[in-house]
Amino acid sequence: MAKYKVGDTAWVPQAGSTQVEIPCPVCFGKKVATLILGNDDHVILDCEFCQKGFEHSRGFVNEYQFVATAYPVTIDAVCVETRQDKEIVEYKVIHSECSSSSYKESNLFATKEEAEAVAKDMADKQIADESERENSRKRSVSKSFTWNAGYWMREAKKNRDEAERCDKRAQVQAAKAKKKEENSDGH
């Protein structure tokens, strides 16, 4: 036996998401993060967590916030099917000539409050799932920080060594130039 009939209004729970910008959970909007090495040295790195593509660190990340709502629908058709002595009821809502939706009876509610309570449960589950994904992403990003710290420290050392070599060559060249100048003045 169908719970609703054609023309009745029922409520559909919906848990959707909206994209918002929030401060980066790694650099807290500063666009850099400080990595403390095992010897207690502090290395300041560009925050890779809030980078997007080839852009620099932005200080924020885009996140989806889940919103629990309920919306009314008017039943346009009731389809009842019997399978193995079990009655399956489906309700159809026509939105336009090209668009319609079908709902199982378990997905429709008589009051907005009932539908909103179900929508809140749906959103809570989605939030828990998203939180687990976020924590997983943070764990994998921390490996990147240590690799980057090591890489840039190695590059800095290599460049300091190269700078020392260039300074020594410049000093040798300056000494040669001075010696040549002294020799040309003495003739």
Count of structural domains, the chain: 1
In a domain, 164, yes or no: no
Of 51-55, 57-61, 72-76, 114-118, the one with minimum mean pLDDT is 51-55
| 156, part of any domain | no
172 found inside a domain = no
By residue range, what is the domain housing residue 143? 9-148
Write the CA distances from 165 to 110, 152, 161, 172, integer angstroms. Answer: 81, 20, 6, 11
Higher pLDDT, 55 or 118: 118
Q: Does 161 map to a domain?
A: no
11 — pLDDT class (breaks 50, 70, 90): very high
Contacts of 17 (CB under 8 A, 6+ apart): 64, 65, 66, 67, 126
Confirm whether 73 is domain-assigned.
Answer: yes
Residue 176 lies in a domain: no
129, pLDDT greater than 90 = no
What's phi and psi for 94, nearest 5 deg? -100, 120
Please indicate, yes or no, if residue 32 is contained in any of the structural domains.
yes
Please check whether residue 58 lies inside any domain of the structure.
yes
The answer on pLDDT for 152 being more than 80 is: no
Give me the pLDDT at residue 17, please. Answer: 81
